Every structure is written in structure tokens, then in C-alpha cells.
Amino acid sequence: MQQRNADRTRARILAAATEEFAERGIAGARVQRIAEVADCNKAMLYAYFGSKDGLFDAVFSASVEEYLTVVGFDTSDLPAYAGRLFDYFEDNPARLRLTSWYRLERPDGKPLEAVLAVNHDRLEELERAQRRRTVPKQFSAVTLLSLIQAIATSWSSMTPEYGAAAPSRIVRRRAVVAAVEKILS
């Protein structure tokens, strides 16, 4: 019974921290607010995660795992991957903000194992597909993956002024898929 309570408390902390970090970034997040929303004391938060940075690492790692589960990755249909990536960030803008905070506030920080693992796996899959000639070689695997991710998230990261003039979601998604198809042709 006590373990289930610990699991629920940990889950509440992660949920509250995800919202706080997505909204305010690492520097702007406050442990006290997270503890209040999670309905626990700060000591519990530190007991589970060690520090605010440790909590952010856990939040971002969980976000990466969720992203992998929802979006997946398949080198045999990279345009569809780009479409799913577009959908994921359109449906989950807080996840895009979390990723942006990670990039902004941790440019030279210690790499997270979850991020290293996913990048390693996807790049390895792309390199294998390039060796099999099922994916063109005009770009290195890392460049190709970067371009696909940038295209897929380009609409989500537009300024509000520009975004107000954007076409419908379906048109934006089609443009993402078509752009990736063009890169691969």
C-alpha cells in the first residue's frame, strides 16, 4: 500500500513539474509551486528527484519517452514520420515549449541519457537505410533528421503574428509532408 502511495505522489510531482517547466522553463520554475500543485511538501520532491535539475531531467526524459511512443520512427516512410511529429506538437504545445526550454537553458549541460539513446537509435536507423539505399544520401543522417524535425515543428514555433495568417492545420500538415518528400526525392 505504501508503494502505491509513493508511485502516486511521484506521478503527481511529475505532472505538476511538467506543467511548471513547460510554462516557465527551468530557471523560472519554482519548486514550491510544483509541490503545492502536486499536494506534497518540498522535502518529498527532493527525496524523489534530488534537485530541481534532477526533477527537470526526469520530466524531460519522460516527455521523450512519451514522444517516442506516440510518434514512433520509421525510415521507410519519413514523410509520414514528419506528419506524426507535426501532429504531436500541434496537439501538445506544452511539449514543444518543454523542448525549447531544454535547448535554451541546457545548451552545454550534461546530456540526458534518454535524449542520447533516442538520437543514437534514429541516426543509426537512418544510416542503415542510407547504406541500403532506401533513404537518399545527399544529406548526412544527422542533417536529414535535423531538417525533418525543423520542417515538422516550423509551424508550431511561428510568432503569433505570422501564425495568425497561417493556413488551416490540414494544409500546414500537407506542406510538412510534401517538403520532406521533396527533400528525399
Task: Looking at 39-112, list the stretches that DSSP marks H as alpha helix, in order from N- to C-terminal side.
Answer: 42-49, 52-71, 78-91, 93-105
Residue 137 has pLDDT above 50, yes or no: yes
Average pLDDT over residues 131-151: 96
Task: Say what the pLDDT of residue 166 is.
Answer: 83
What are the pLDDT digits (tens) for 6-21?
889 999 999 999 999 9
CA distance 126 to 133: 10
CA distance 21 to 62: 13
Closest CA to 122 of 135, 103, 138: 135
For the domain bounded by 56-184, which CATH number is listed?
A: 1.10.357.10
What are the pLDDT digits (tens) for 165-178?
888 999 999 999 99
What are the pLDDT digits (tens) for 64-121?
999 989 999 999 999 999 999 999 999 999 999 999 999 999 888 888 898 899 999 9
Boundaries of every domain in the chain: 56-184
Of 64-68, 94-98, 128-132, 159-163, the range with the lowest mean pLDDT is: 159-163
